[in-house]
Amino acid sequence: MPRASKDIINVKGFHLEFGEIDEYLKRKSYYGKRVSVDYDELRKWDLNLLSYFKPFYAPLCDLCCMCTYGKCDLLGKKGACGINLEKQQAREALSTAVIGASAHAAHARHLVDTLIEKKPTSELHYDSSIDIKTPISTTVTGIEPETPEDLDRIMTYIERELTNLIASVHTGQEAEVTDFESKALHAGMLDTMALELADIAQINQYGLPTGKADTHMLEIGMDVIDSTKPVILCIGHNIAPSAEIIDYAEDIGAEEEIEICGLCCTAMEMGRYSKSSKIVGPISRQLTFLRSGIPDVVVLDEQCIRSDVYEVCGEMGMVVIATGDKCSMGLEDMSEENPYRIINRILQEKIPGVLIKDGKKGCHGRCEPCTSAYPWQGPRNIRPFQGELCEVLAL
């Protein structure tokens, strides 16, 4: 039987002492904090792995429509560029892997840039019980991030690699199944690095819990939302807009007067930030909750957003506020407008949605409509004014 203790694992023919790893990390000198990754070396490992575990494809589509030569029918034959169905499926696998990794990397970039803007010289903090702060990024790059600039260096590496990977999908580039799969594995590694950096950035920016067992519990489900209050629903993946809303509501003493809830990934991050937020549910509940007519204002950040959310909200009389350039929904950009002009246009001109990329300015545009009467509102009819709250927001 394998024997294990806190710091030692003994298995027949294998002995590992974690103390040796800890000592190595303490002794290792991060010369110039340079990112040192060689994809060619990683590729050798990938090809060795793929020689034992060969990819299997069950095509969802027999066509290739990726260039102006097409569309090409690949069932039992090659396309105009010479690609066959197996290679096309491998290329699709790489494409989807890069798309997913890019979404997380873009999210991480936004959080890292925000941290650099607000706390450029700060030292990154972690839970004291954590010995290896960034196991994925440190293993891959050799850097143990200590400042926001360190996060930026690693993000630059991730972004460069993702650019190379998506370039290899282009017609006339990569043409071998195993190399497509190797690059897809590389994209997966970059994805996990981006996720790690994003969490480190938001932990340090917003003071989120770091592995503590005594964190607060949250309510979840549509039934926990108090529909007698004005309701702000945040949908997406990025904590930044919802954190600004929560801060603004607390600053004006309105956190008990309005319901601030989240759906999907944003809901989880809001819960880490404030115990007053509530979780509606996963992305599968998005249409159900919107059709219920409960939200008054719907705030969109990035990812996890239905493509028809703007149309659905319009049908239900809800104001939509988009907050980023990755999900602008064709809305008018009012980021440079005075916040009270934005509020007036939403309330008086019956604008169904706006794009506000300034987080603090957007808080006014999200909270004020939520506490004012909607003469155009649909199924929920007209909301009464919320007394003193409206007076404060109107100042």
185-224 pLDDT per residue, tens: 999 999 999 999 999 999 999 988 877 777 778 888 888 8
Confidence of residue 106 (pLDDT cuts 50, 70, 90): very high
The predicted pLDDT at position 90 comes to: 94
The confidence score (pLDDT) of residue 392 equals 31
pLDDT digits (tens, 9 = 90+) for 295-320: 999 999 998 899 999 999 999 989 99
Question: At 128, is the pLDDT very low, low, confident or very high (cuts 50, 70, 90)?
Answer: low
Could you tell me the sign of the dihedral formed by the alpha carbons of 155, 161, 166, 167, in that order? positive
Structure tokens at 129: 């019980």
**Residue of 60 and 10 predicted with greater confidence:** 60
Average pLDDT in the chain: 82
33 confidence band (pLDDT: 50, 70, 90): low
Task: Write down the pLDDT at residue 250.
Answer: 87
pLDDT at 381: 38
Segment 56-94, tens digit of pLDDT: 888 889 999 988 888 999 999 999 999 999 999 999 999
pLDDT, tens digit, for every residue of 173-196?
999 999 999 999 999 999 999 999
Q: What is the pLDDT of residue 104?
A: 96
- Whether the CB-CB separation of 198 and 108 falls below 8 Å is answered with yes
**What is the band of 4 on the pLDDT scale with cuts at 50, 70, 90?**
very low
What's the rounded mean pLDDT across residues 263-292?
Answer: 89
Compute the average pLDDT of residues 242-262.
Answer: 88
Provide, rounded to the nearest whole percent, the portion of the chain with pLDDT above 90: 44
Question: Could you give the CA distance from residue 280 to residue 228 in angstroms, rounded to a whole number?
Answer: 16
- The pLDDT value recorded for residue 40 is 85
Cα(314)–Cα(253) distance, integer angstroms: 30
pTM for the structure as a whole:
0.82
Confirm if 346 and 377 have CB atoms less than 8 A apart: no
- Please, which pLDDT band fits residue 121 given cuts at 50, 70 and 90? confident
Among 35, 41, 38, which Cα is nearest to 137's?
A: 35
Q: How do beta strands 72-73 and 63-64 pair?
A: antiparallel
**Looking at residue 28, what is its pLDDT?**
53
pLDDT score recorded for residue 24 = 58
pLDDT digits (tens, 9 = 90+) for 340-373: 888 888 888 788 899 998 655 545 545 555 545 3
**Count, residues in the chain:** 395
pLDDT, mean of residues 48-63? 90
